[in-house]
Structure 1
């Protein structure tokens, strides 16, 4: 596996250094989940030459994110002052809405009007990135504060070191050469067919095992009847390569933390809205079950672990999720953040 990954890494690095001029001052290239992270010192050059990155992404057929080397970022306090000075007077953003993620080199900005950052060819976004060296991550600020979601965001930032390890471990698994020439697809219903609840579909190829949803049936009298039948195939959670959650309803997302409790340590792909909603619902489920004296096959630690492994995707974004499967999510219109999952398998 290491040899296969190293070959892929060498090919990608070669292409990156061929396409990106020395002026960008590339310091390192990392696999971070489904993205190739390019760390540079000269962010101004990259911003002024965005077409280079777009061309490179098309050439290597990978998602690319540019991060600024830590040595070229402004100190946090100074960066905060510069960001506040760049914001429009009516932006309704204060210091509490701005959080720095030292590990990923991102500044999370909560705003009631995200579109302000992307108007005029992303002018404000680009200015913040260029002036501070911190990549803006724009998050919509809800009209009503949610203590749970605020805590989730703080947790993600506080665990940035661990999250980076997770992303790089996932990247190692995704960005490798395929092992087998045989191409086949097997789809198995593990629950949710001819019943309401415990929706789960296992998609298998010669290279990968991917779960589409992993929910539970709250009306089932026994635990075994409430859970998807992963055990029927003799598959252990650690054998799964990726999980895709189509929406937050508990019959589709309720038992994803269970997978982490019993050995799964891979990615969970979903939309950002679904990520937030499923965390809310899972924590609510834990609270209600505790008050009613009922037990669940996971606890809050497993929800936190799931959160660290969740990679939010935008609609229409083609993303490598295993060595031979790409995922695109499309708006399903079912509930906030819900998605139809389109899997591109092999050369399909």
Structure 2
């Protein structure tokens, strides 16, 4: 069996396409993360790129062939079994791109699990076989939306993302891939909040609800963007990390400003930021300290005048056990403009 070559530069895009495909077909999030396990031989890393994730409640590993060649089928089965043993994962799937149906049929006959985005998902261990001619499966609403979907919704609520904007422009605006934005639109479509419009060759976002109706429809699905809180020695400027937490709440309401300033950064940027600014953890008695929130999405995108946006702020503090903060959070809602 001969598989078409998959350029290395397209592997991440292919993985995103697999996530979007499974979300659209099953309403399941694979939550793929690239991995390079130390207990896996180097030749496996040379031949494959690996991701770990979940399929339902079961751990999953995805393998994408970097440079397919003749005879790879037999080699892959050996390498797949090696991954099974070394990582202790029973679900291992091959990630394919532009594979003829005859090749996919052979893999099904050999009970080799794989994902071909937009065409077929075959997982013999889970008795799943979704084919390109199978009827579409309705996507059940999720309890929570993804961080990118939440960012897009909050941007729409605040007029930052115009109606009918091209998906490519949206992806650039929010610093994500086009595939990720397409996946986000599929998520909003599943929740019956939006639909995509085709204008020529362009895909555009079209919302089905107005601002206040949209907020009421999604507010319980939205979650705090805060992933982790650190206290560090030193100060950080608003151009890098806008005011957040009680500091931002004091800016928007009558709440007194806290003694320790709180700021927010994108979680993915924290490591480089802390190194470049030489930020180090500090004790609770240091005078010159700052509380840093790591966020699931970039707080700078919706921040104004060095302060995080009101919607994200509300979501980050609405569950506070401090009655003063909880009351100020409700007052914050009254300042929102619809």
Q: TM-score, normalised by structure 1?
A: 0.27
More helix by share: 1
Based on CA coordinates, which of the two structures has the bigger radius of gyration?
A: 2
Q: TM-score, normalised by structure 2?
A: 0.27
